[in-house]
């Protein structure tokens, strides 16, 4: 049994006490023969007996509540099977049905009615001293499903389950938080089972006042906590990341995490594409279909790909084009949202260009990335247009869940004659093509945020810098084994997630030290081997 010592203060002196230890039930309170390994098989059989993924989600939620060690043990041993259930794509359905499938409280709910008294609500959390990581959502833009209000809580819960499974962060150290600031979705306001406030969303000014109070009180109550923002509306995602990133250790997974994981997959895809075309890496041209927070966040991150090839920031920016609901984004088109202006083209003054095939023929991109949540937007004609100008076209339909993906892996394979370099936001099955097994990549943020979060927590960082995010991306790109490269994979197998997270955490800590934002000075003198050993020792594993 692992012995856990927790610190406490007595008369101004910090001491250690033995944390409560799990004990076996007394004789007679469980069946006479309850073998742990057999019980593992029993739980898996119960899970697999469910014929709907939402039922599997409900079962696993109950298992995590009743027996977290078993839940995470099964998760680590069956990662490819569990990840799509506890997060995308099933978590999208869980959010839509949250008010109807709700069974027990999990996480912290803070509403606009708590404004002025947020500290009091936060202090009701039962494990204040143990808190290290929180995922916070306001439910305003859940997985492309729209404004779900308080129904967005499963997003925070699911992400933190992946932090635990993927990086060994202790379950007791996590705080899922949903901010209830109203919802503009009448369907929920009219639903008698809806669990949130029955009001429209608050004004921008009132929300900002609320967020300022919330972030300040969080920093005071949980001085060792990192906050991850999740699924805020596009404008607010950028707004609050910029507002707080230099004051608190905060991270926006939609902007930074998505950007980092796509950058990693793109780096590996670009090398294969350039090898086929004979063109240098610096010559790639990227077309984004979708210009929301995720699309622009990824575009900002992919500028690093070009600067790493020696291009200036301005040259890197010129290699990127955006397409939104009104077509190609360019300066003379008219009024633009603030977050789109950086990538708006100044080298096109023609009439509005809205047809994607026409835009592809004009831009001649080597890569087409979809973050639009428009099902089937990459039609056979679009995919064929990409294949016509590239020996190995890069096509990343990144929208979640699967039903909102811009195209399927099968379509991409068929219409490029098997030459596509593919990564999606949600999982697709492998495909046999002309006697060869082709494997789709999945740009799953789970590859990035657990290791980044672990490094930020262990390093006690004051802020999460762009260099730390870029470092995590490079660490992921370089983590492929020789076998994985031989199979043409763009991302490593998810079964290796803890190994990958440990590598990313170490790189993040070293980057934080170089930038002077680390507050855990005891790690600075450790050798590379010593730091790796410490990270491994700090990673929690189920008994």
- 64 is annotated as an active-site residue: no
Length of the chain: 543
How far apart are the C-alpha atoms of 349 and 331, rounded to whole Å? 8
Is-contact 365 400, C-beta < 8 A? Answer: no
Q: What is the DSSP letter of 325?
A: T
In terms of Cα–Cα distance, which of 235, 218, 238, 236 is closest to 227?
218
Q: How far is CA 133 from CA 342, 512, 528, in A?
A: 32, 18, 25
Contact 463, 246 (CB under 8 A): yes
- Shortest CA distance to 359 belongs to which of 310, 323, 319, 389? 323
Which parts of 489-538 fold into alpha helices (H)?
A: 497-515, 528-538
Q: Token digits for 137?
A: 């959502």
CB 367 within 8 A of CB 443: no
Classify residue 243 by burial, with Cβ atoms within 10 Å: 0-12, 13-18, 19+.
middle
Residue 537 burial (CB count, 10 A) = 8
Q: 3-class secondary structure for 153-209?
A: HHHHHHHHHHHHHHHCCCHHHEEEEEEECCCCCHHHHCCCCCCCCCCCCCCHHHHHH
Tokens of 118: 């947020």
Those residues whose C-beta lies under 8 Å from the C-beta of residue 409, and which sit 6 or more positions away, are 422, 424, 428, 429, 431, 438, 440
Neighbour-count burial of 413, counting CB atoms closer than 10 A to its CB (0-12 exposed, 13-18 middle, 19+ buried): buried
87 is catalytic: yes
- Residue of 64, 72, 73, 87 marked active site: 87
Q: Which residues make up each annotated binding site for a divalent metal cation?
A: 230-231, 254
Q: Is the peptide bond before 89 cis (omega within 30 degrees of 0)?
A: yes
Question: Which one is catalytic: 56, 64, 73, 159?
Answer: 159
Q: What span, in angstroms and rounded, lies between the C-alpha atoms of 296 and 255?
A: 8
Instruction: Copy the structure tokens of residue 312.
Output: 């200036």
Residues of each annotated binding site = 141, 230-231, 254, 400, 444
Do residues 18 and 5 lie in contact, with contact meaning Cβ atoms separated by under 8 Å?
Answer: yes
Q: Which residues contact 387 (CB under 8 A, 6 or more apart)?
A: 393, 415, 416, 417, 419, 420
Q: Do 304 and 473 meet the contact criterion of CB atoms below 8 Å apart? A: yes
* 3-state SS assignment for residue 438: strand
Q: Are strands 133-137 and 226-229 parallel, antiparallel or unpaired?
A: parallel
CA gap 255, 237 in Å, rounded: 8
Catalytic positions = 87, 159
């Amino acid at each position: 049994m692992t012995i856990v010592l927790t610190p406490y203060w007595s008369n101004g002196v910090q001491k250690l006490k033995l944390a409560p230890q799990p004990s076996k039930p007394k004789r007679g309170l469980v069946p006479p023969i309850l073998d742990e390994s057999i019980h593992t098989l029993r739980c898996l059989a119960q899970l697999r007996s469910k014929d709907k993924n939402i039922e599997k989600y409900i079962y696993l939620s109950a298992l995590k509540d009743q027996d977290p060690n078993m839940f995470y043990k099964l998760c680590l041993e069956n990662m490819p099977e569990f990840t799509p259930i506890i997060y995308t794509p099933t978590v999208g359905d869980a959010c839509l049905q949250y008010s109807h499938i709700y069974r027990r409280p999990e996480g912290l709910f803070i509403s606009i009615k708590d404004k002025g008294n947020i500290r009091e609500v936060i202090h009701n959390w039962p494990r204040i001293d143990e808190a290290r990581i929180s995922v916070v959502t306001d439910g305003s833009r859940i997985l492309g499903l729209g404004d779900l209000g308080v129904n967005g809580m499963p997003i925070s819960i699911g992400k933190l389950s992946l932090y635990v499974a993927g990086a060994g962060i202790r379950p007791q150290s996590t705080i899922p938080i949903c901010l209830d600031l109203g919802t503009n979705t009448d369907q929920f306001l009219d639903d008698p089972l809806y669990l949130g406030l029955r009001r429209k969303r608050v004004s921008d000014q009132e929300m900002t006042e609320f967020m300022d109070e919330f972030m300040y009180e969080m920093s005071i109550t949980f001085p060792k906590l990192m906050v991850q923002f999740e699924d805020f509306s596009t404008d607010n995602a950028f707004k609050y990341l910029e507002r707080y990133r230099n004051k608190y250790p905060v991270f926006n997974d939609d902007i930074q995490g998505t950007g980092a994981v796509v950058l990693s997959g793109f780096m590996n895809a670009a090398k294969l594409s350039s090898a086929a075309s004979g063109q240098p890496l610096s010559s790639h041209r990227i077309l984004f279909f979708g210009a929301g927070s995720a699309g622009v966040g990824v575009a900002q991150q992919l500028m690093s790909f070009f600067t790493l090839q020696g291009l200036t920031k301005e040259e890197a920016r010129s290699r990127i084009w955006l397409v939104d609901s009104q077509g190609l984004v360019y300066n003379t088109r008219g009024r633009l949202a603030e977050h789109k202006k950086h990538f708006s083209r100044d080298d096109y003054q023609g009439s509005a260009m809205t047809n994607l095939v026409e835009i592809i023929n004009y831009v001649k991109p080597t890569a087409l990335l979809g973050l639009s949540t428009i099902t089937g937007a990459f039609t056979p004609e679009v995919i064929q247009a990409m294949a016509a100008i590239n020996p190995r076209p890069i096509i990343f339909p990144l929208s979640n869940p699967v039903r909102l993906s811009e195209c399927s892996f099968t379509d991409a394979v068929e219409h490029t004659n098997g030459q596509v370099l593919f990564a999606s936001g949600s999982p697709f099955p492998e495909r046999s093509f002309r006697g060869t097994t082709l494997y789709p990549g999945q740009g799953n943020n789970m590859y990035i945020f657990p290791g980044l979060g672990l490094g930020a927590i262990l390093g006690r960082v004051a802020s999460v810098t762009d260099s730390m995010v870029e470092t995590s991306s490079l660490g992921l790109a370089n983590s492929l084994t020789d076998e994985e490269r031989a199979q043409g994979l763009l991302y490593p197998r998810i079964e290796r997630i803890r190994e990958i997270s440990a590598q990313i955490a170490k790189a993040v800590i070293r980057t934080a030290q170089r930038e002077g934002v680390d507050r855990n000075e005891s790690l600075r003198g450790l050798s590379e081997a010593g730091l790796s050993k410490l990270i491994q020792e700090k990673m929690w594993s189920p008994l």
